[in-house]
Structure formats: structure tokens, C-alpha cells
Structure 1
Amino acid sequence: MATEARWLNDDEQSLWRLILASMRKIERGMDDTLQVGSELSSSEFSVLVSLSEAEGQSLRLRDLCAQLEWDRSRTSHQITRMERRGLVSKHKSEGDARGVIVTLTGEGQKRLEQAAPEHVESVRRLVFDHLDPKMVPVLREFMDNIMAVDNVPGQPGFTGRLLDPPSISARD
């Protein structure tokens, strides 16, 4: 572990701010596209996509949590809101009274199909139209390396500290 902060140099700081601004622009673009085109939030779209790709268009709530990398509380609240809107249904799992099964409804499928073309067009305009195909392997490796980091808060490999406290000598 480091004992002092490893400050960013000017080039790194500039790139970091550009990464943050780019992530915000992509996120805003996706959110706005989904809201305008289908009155869905990005969270709702993520749930609908996961369910549409699942066998029988259904998933256990815990499996949906894992796929979305959301905690159970967030996922449960999201599903409750979506159920009220008729986008999903939920019921107890047969054979496991504690398990909850979430299923895509016809309305949810319809909204997903309505949203997908404009969503993918926004993805293309914001990301892929500006990406030289030769850069794809480098960018993929960069993103894979980010996804492999586990020694930061919120990740399973995190030990509880980023910076080691300075050691106290016997003289102090």
C-alpha cells in the first residue's frame, strides 16, 4: 500500500477530468434519449434488458441484483416502481418462499422494443462514431483493466485502507 497520496500530474489531471465529463455526457445522453423516446429511466431500461435476455424473461431478484451490480434494497425498490407501471411482475418463487421472481410483462417488452433503436443510435453517436476500429482493442484492454481492480472501497478485495497511516516511532 502507498503511504502518501500519489498526486496526478497535469496531463493525468486533464485526462481524468475529460474522462469524468465524457462519462457524464454519455450518461446524460442515454438518460435523455430513453426519457424522450420511451419515458423510461436508464435504471428501468437496464432491468428490462436483463429480463429480456433471461430464460423465460424471468430472473430471481438476487440474480437480477448480481447482474446489475445493485444492492437488494435498490433493486427491490426499482422493481416495485416498475411493477406499479406495469413493466414487470413479481411473485414468490415456487419451492422457495423467500425467493422472488421478476418477470418482464408485455408492456415492458413493448417499451423496451420502442426504446432500443433510439438508445443504440445514441450509443453509436456518442461513442462508436468517434472510435477508430484500430483503437477498440486498446480501449477494451483499458476498460477490462479498470473492471479488474478490486483494491478500492466497494470491491471484494478491498482491505479497508487506501493509504497506510504513517508509522509511529518509539521516540514519539
Structure 2
Amino acid sequence: MDEEARWLTAEEQRAWRGFVRLHERLGGRLARLLQSESKMSAADFAVLVNLTDVPDGRQRYQDLGRVLEWEKSRMSHHIARMAGRGLVVREECPDDARGAFVVITDAGRAAVEAAAPRHVEAVRELFLDHVTPAELRMLADISERVVAKLDEDVA
């Protein structure tokens, strides 16, 4: 660690801190709306959305944990709580005795389908309505590039 820190310039710091504030406030507001209007946590919603995006609504524990950036213990505890509420079930993997799947239930699918319209409207009201189409494309490009780099670093 003999290298000197590459401190942020004023412009970089403004952009970084603005991004962090945006992420924290928007995430917090959306989480509170989900909880108050759908009785679902942001974590529950994230799990259910990811499961609706994959065939058969099933995903291996470790793959879902990787997508969500959750540690193994958080995955285990959270999925157990969701299973207790009937939103998901755990299924053993027939090909791998140590592996398991998280599978969305009909109740989980109904819960995310009920929550999604209001969530999408909140995303529009709180975020999308305040950016131009060009800014939105730029944000998508930036996000995809940074995520690809993060994924590359993990691989």
C-alpha cells in the first residue's frame, strides 16, 4: 500500500456523492412504498422479481445470491422467512446433493404481480419522469458498462 490515494476531484466527488444520495434516497423511498402498500420488503420484491425473470420461476440458491449480491447466510435466512410466508419453496437439486433451488410459489407470483404496478408507477414518479430520453440512454450505457466491469472482476 505504498501507492498514494487517487483522491477525487471536486467534479468526481460531486458526481459520486450525488449518485450515492440518489441511490440511498430512491431505494429508501421505494422500499417504504413497497412495505406500506404491499406489505413486502424490498428484499422480498428483489427475490420475487428475479424468480419471475427465469424459466419455471426457479433458480439455484448460489446463482440467486450472486445476482442479489447477498452472502450465503443472508440468503439462507431470508429465503427461510419467505418460505414461511408461502412466497417461495426450497427444492433440493437432484443432480447435486449440496445444491438447492429457490422456487416461486403461486402466492409469491400473486404478491409480486399485485405489488408491481404501484412499484412501476413510483419508479416513474420518483425517477423516470425527471430525466430526458437521452439522459436515460446515457444512464443505461454507464450502468451496463460498470456492471460488466464488476461482473468481470468477480469472474
- TM-score w.r.t. length of structure 2: 0.86
Give the number of equivalent residue pairs.
Answer: 153
Q: Distance in 2 between matches of 1:19 and 1:95?
A: 43
Alignment of 1:145 with 2:145, yes or no, is yes
Match of 1:10 in 2: 10
Match of 1:81 in 2: 81
Alignment of 1:22 with 2:22, yes or no, is yes
Secondary structure of the residue aligned to 2:154 is coil
Match of 2:104 in 1: 104
- Larger gyration radius, structure 1 or structure 2: 1
Gaps of 5+ in 2: none
Q: Distance in 2 between matches of 1:133 and 1:2?
A: 44
Describe how 1:110-129 pairs up with structure 2 within 5 A.
110-129=110-129
Given residue 105 of structure 1, which amino acid in structure 2 is its aligned partner? T
Gaps of 5+ in 1: 158-172
| Structure number with higher helix proportion | 2
Alignment deviations for residues 74-108 of structure 1 (CA, whole Å, 9 cap, x no partner): 21111011111111111212243222121111211
Given residue 143 of structure 2, which amino acid in structure 1 is its aligned partner? M
Alignment deviations for residues 138-167 of structure 1 (CA, whole Å, 9 cap, x no partner): 2222223322445xxxx438xxxxxxxxxx
CA drift at 1:131: 1.1
Match of 1:64 in 2: 64
Secondary structure of the residue aligned to 1:90 is strand
Q: Distance in 2 between matches of 1:129 and 1:89?
A: 37
Q: CA separation of 1:49/1:24 partners in 2, compared to 1, >3 Å: closer, same or farther?
A: same
Q: Which moved more, 1:80-89 or 1:1-10?
A: 1-10
Secondary structure of the residue aligned to 1:92 is strand
CA drift at 1:69: 2.8
Given residue 130 of structure 2, which amino acid in structure 1 is its aligned partner? H
Q: Distance in 1 between matches of 2:63 and 2:149?
A: 22
Check conservation: 1:37, 1:114, Cα contact below 8 A.
Answer: no
Q: CA separation of 1:149/1:56 partners in 2, compared to 1, >3 Å: closer, same or farther?
A: closer
Q: With CA pairs under 8 Å and 6+ residues apart, which has the higher RCO, 1 or 2?
A: 1
Q: Distance in 1 between matches of 2:2 and 2:126?
A: 37
Check conservation: 1:60, 1:99, Cα contact below 8 A.
Answer: yes
The CA RMSD over aligned residues, in Å, is: 2.1
Q: Distance in 1 between matches of 2:65 and 2:122?
A: 26
